[in-house]
């Protein structure tokens, strides 16, 4: 069986968790099926065994010419309707990634290389050639802030590329690739699987409506199978987006196994960690309030907020207002090595996300044997079932949970054992098998023969 996946991020060009998930899932699935990816950008030096990667920024010249010619011909496909929706806010970066601001500020540097970094000169020339006929690309920056144009261009080019591919299933990841998936389904009649890693609901709340919402909804409606990364996200898919529950199959993400280690802290206090982008979705203000409450009861705790985002500066001032600046530390953006160093000395992980489709970081913390206090509004709460949970807004209960873990040694040990055990079941191999089962049951394809 052959699976064609469409993704938006893929290591090493990543912004949030999407690229990591695509890699983990791809590696595990490739043991069972023929797997290829079409992506807007790839790093040609990054090779994955048995996974064929195609980047629109690294197309063979012959294909570029062919795509250009086909795009020049008139067509009436779905994605053209998206191209007409041209006046939307310029702030539609995927996952609300903050734009790089001017200056030498280390706290303004984005988490990682965003997908919108300019391609190399050669690659830019190629892609510009490939999309020459599109008026939206005739002038201006190719990789500017106009995500909708990139999404449309990606849809058109992927659809043409797909014509010459053999595959049984189209499997697409998040809204940026939905129009492409729908277009390919229309052209080929192959079944469409949409994988939901994150929704505009998570980033903007229940009031979110607009172009991205429309893309998400129409993509899920056109799909034969919708795979949200958790039951929590599944309820949003069926509730907020009104998708038929019969075709919604939640499948939890896996976590790449790590080699956890412990470092001795250089200070006597216990350490409570928050790790993530400093955006409303992740609930950093709640973490600060939780910290202030815990510190009122126990001064022998340090809190670390690792990551950066548009909330960083207000959060720093809010911390000073709460008078916790000598116990509550901001690190700014940290690379993987520093994150691991931090995990190796962390006592409690706290994830008070307002809406978290999955929450891989809590699972990664569990791999380090760190008990987590997590919000009920998260997918990972379904996996780490014995982790202490509270509603994201219930800072009193969150604080109480943290104090319990920090003061009750038996309770702490139970939580460590439980999280180590819970995370064991969370592998990409298990996720891949469930994906194949869902293909079988919902797409009438025999994959597990």
Partner 1 sequence: MPDLCIYFQAHQPNRLKPYSFFDIGRDPFYEADDLNRDILNKVSDKCYIPATKLLLDLIERHPEFRVAFSLSGVFIEQAEHHRPDVIELFQKLVATGNVELIAETYYHSLCFRHSGKEFARQVQLHVEKLQSVFGVERPRVFRHTELIYFNELAHFVEALGFEGMLAEGVPALLDGRTANGLYRSPNVRTLKTLTRNCQLSDDIAFRFGNPHWPEHPLTAQKYAKWIAREPGEVVNVFIDYETIGEHKWEETGIFDFWSQMPAAMSDAGVNFATPSAVLDNCEVLGTYDVHAPTSWADTAKDLSAWKGNTMQSEATKKILTLEAKVKAINDPDLLHQWSKMQTSDHFYYMCTKGDADGEVHSYFTPYPSPYEGYMYFMNALSDLQIRVDRLSEARP
Shortest spacing between CB 330 and partner 1, in angstroms: 6
Mark residues 194-233: x for contact with partner 1 by CB under 8 A, - for none. Answer: ----------------------------------------
Shortest spacing between CB 227 and partner 1, in angstroms: 38
Residue nearer to partner 1 on the CB measure, 265 or 434: 265
Closest CA to 253 of 366, 440, 345, 379: 379
Shortest spacing between CB 370 and partner 1, in angstroms: 17
- When asked if residue 344 is in the footprint of partner 1 (CB under 8 A), the reply is no
Residue nearer to partner 1 on the CB measure, 47 or 266: 266
Residue nearer to partner 1 on the CB measure, 331 or 404: 331
- Phi, psi angle pair for 365, to nearest 5°: -65, -40
Residue nearer to partner 1 on the CB measure, 231 or 329: 329
126 vs 146: CA distance, rounded Å: 19
Report the DSSP beta bridge partners of residue 195: 173, 227
Binds partner 1 by CB under 8 A, chosen from 203, 240, 293, 329:
329
Binds partner 1 by CB under 8 A, chosen from 325, 335, 386, 425:
325
Whether 154 and 133 have beta carbons less than 8 Å apart is answered as no
Binds partner 1 by CB under 8 A, chosen from 27, 282, 327, 442:
327
Shortest spacing between CB 306 and partner 1, in angstroms: 8
DSSP H or E run through 281? none
Whether 443 and 185 have beta carbons less than 8 Å apart is answered as no
- When asked if residue 313 is in the footprint of partner 1 (CB under 8 A), the reply is yes
35 vs 12: CA distance, rounded Å: 19
- When asked if residue 358 is in the footprint of partner 1 (CB under 8 A), the reply is no
- When asked if residue 107 is in the footprint of partner 1 (CB under 8 A), the reply is yes
- When asked if residue 304 is in the footprint of partner 1 (CB under 8 A), the reply is yes
Residue nearer to partner 1 on the CB measure, 106 or 163: 106
- When asked if residue 321 is in the footprint of partner 1 (CB under 8 A), the reply is yes
**Where are the alpha helices (H) located in 131-230, listed in sequence order?**
135-138, 147-163, 178-188, 200-204, 211-222
Mark residues 365-404: x for contact with partner 1 by CB under 8 A, - for none. Answer: ----------------------------------------
CB neighbour class for 362 (10 Å; exposed up to 12, middle 13-18, buried from 19):
buried
Coil vs helix vs strand at 48:
strand
54 vs 161: CA distance, rounded Å: 10
Shortest spacing between CB 263 and partner 1, in angstroms: 10
Shortest spacing between CB 338 and partner 1, in angstroms: 7
- Write the CA distances from 53 to 38, 127, 147, integer angstroms: 6, 16, 22
- When asked if residue 103 is in the footprint of partner 1 (CB under 8 A), the reply is yes
# chain residues binding partner 1, by CB under 8 A: 27
Residue nearer to partner 1 on the CB measure, 109 or 420: 109
Binds partner 1 by CB under 8 A, chosen from 61, 258, 320, 448:
320
- When asked if residue 339 is in the footprint of partner 1 (CB under 8 A), the reply is no
CB neighbour class for 425 (10 Å; exposed up to 12, middle 13-18, buried from 19):
exposed
Window 252-271: residues binding partner 1 (CB under 8 A): 265-268
- Write the CA distances from 418 to 359, 362, 370, 423, 431, integer angstroms: 17, 13, 10, 9, 21
Other CB atoms within a 10 A radius of the CB of residue 2 amount to 13
Shortest spacing between CB 405 and partner 1, in angstroms: 21
Binds partner 1 by CB under 8 A, chosen from 160, 290, 312, 443:
312
Whether 198 and 40 have beta carbons less than 8 Å apart is answered as no
Select from 1-9, 159-167, 314-322, 367-375 the region that touches partner 1 (CB under 8 A): 314-322
Q: Is the dihedral of CA 248, 231, 93, 341 positive or negative?
A: negative
Binds partner 1 by CB under 8 A, chosen from 297, 338, 376, 424:
338
271 vs 287: CA distance, rounded Å: 13
- When asked if residue 104 is in the footprint of partner 1 (CB under 8 A), the reply is yes
Shortest spacing between CB 105 and partner 1, in angstroms: 4
- When asked if residue 292 is in the footprint of partner 1 (CB under 8 A), the reply is no
DSSP H or E run through 330? strand 328-332
Which pairs count as long-range contacts for 388-397, CB under 8 Å and 24+ apart, including other chains?
388/415, 392/283, 392/286, 392/352, 392/353, 392/354, 393/286, 395/286, 395/289, 395/290, 395/293, 395/352, 396/293
Q: Which residues of this chain interact with partner 1, rule CB under 8 A? A: 103-108, 265-268, 302, 304, 312-313, 316-317, 320-321, 323, 325-327, 329-331, 338, 341
């Amino acid at each position: 069986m052959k699976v064609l996946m469409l993704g938006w991020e893929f290591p090493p060009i990543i912004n949030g968790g999407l690229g990591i998930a695509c890699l983990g899932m791809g590696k595990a699935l490739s043991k069972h099926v023929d797997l290829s990816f079409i992506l807007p950008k790839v790093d040609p030096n990054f090779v994955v065994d048995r996974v064929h990667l195609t980047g629109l920024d690294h197309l063979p010249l012959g294909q570029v010419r062919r795509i250009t010619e086909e795009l020049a011909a008139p067509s009436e496909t779905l994605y053209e309707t998206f191209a007409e929706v041209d006046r939307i806010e310029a702030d539609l970066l995927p996952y609300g990634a903050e734009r790089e601001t001017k200056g030498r500020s280390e706290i303004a540097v984005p988490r990682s290389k965003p997908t919108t970094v300019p391609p190399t000169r050669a690659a830019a020339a190629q892609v510009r050639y490939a999309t020459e006929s599109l008026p939206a690309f005739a002038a201006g920056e190719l990789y500017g802030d106009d995500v909708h144009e990139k999404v449309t261009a990606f849809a058109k080019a992927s659809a043409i590329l797909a014509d010459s591919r053999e595959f049984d299933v189209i499997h697409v990841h998040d809204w940026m690739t939905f129009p492409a998936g729908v277009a390919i389904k229309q052209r080929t009649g192959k079944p469409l699987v949409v994988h939901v890693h994150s929704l505009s609901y998570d980033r903007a709340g229940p009031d979110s409506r607009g172009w991205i919402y429309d893309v998400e909804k129409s993509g899920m409606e056109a799909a034969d199978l919708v795979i949200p990364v958790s039951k929590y996200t599944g309820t949003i898919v069926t509730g907020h987006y009104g998708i038929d529950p019969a075709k919604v199959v939640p499948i939890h993400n896996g976590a790449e196994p790590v080699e956890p280690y412990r470092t001795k802290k250089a200070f006597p206090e216990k350490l409570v960690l928050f790790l993530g982008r400093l955006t409303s979705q992740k609930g950093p203000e709640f973490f600060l309030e939780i910290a202030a409450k815990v510190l009122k009861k126990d001064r022998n705790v340090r809190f670390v907020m690792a990551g950066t985002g548009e909330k960083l500066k207000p959060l720093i001032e809010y911390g000073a207002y709460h008078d916790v600046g000598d116990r509550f530390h901001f690190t700014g953006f940290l690379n993987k090595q520093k994150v691991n160093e931090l995990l190796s000395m962390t006592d409690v992980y706290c994830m008070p996300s307002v809406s978290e489709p999955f929450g891989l970081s809590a699972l990664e913390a569990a791999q380090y044997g760190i008990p987590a206090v997590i919000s009920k509004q998260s997918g990972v709460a379904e996996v780490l079932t014995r982790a202490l949970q509270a509603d994201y807004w219930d800072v009193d209960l969150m604080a109480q949970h943290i104090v319990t873990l920090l003061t009750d040694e038996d309770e702490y040990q139970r939580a460590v054992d439980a999280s180590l055990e819970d995370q064991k079941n969370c592998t990409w191999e298990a996720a891949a098998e469930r994906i194949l089962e869902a293909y079988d049951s919902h797409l009438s394809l025999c994959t597990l023969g």
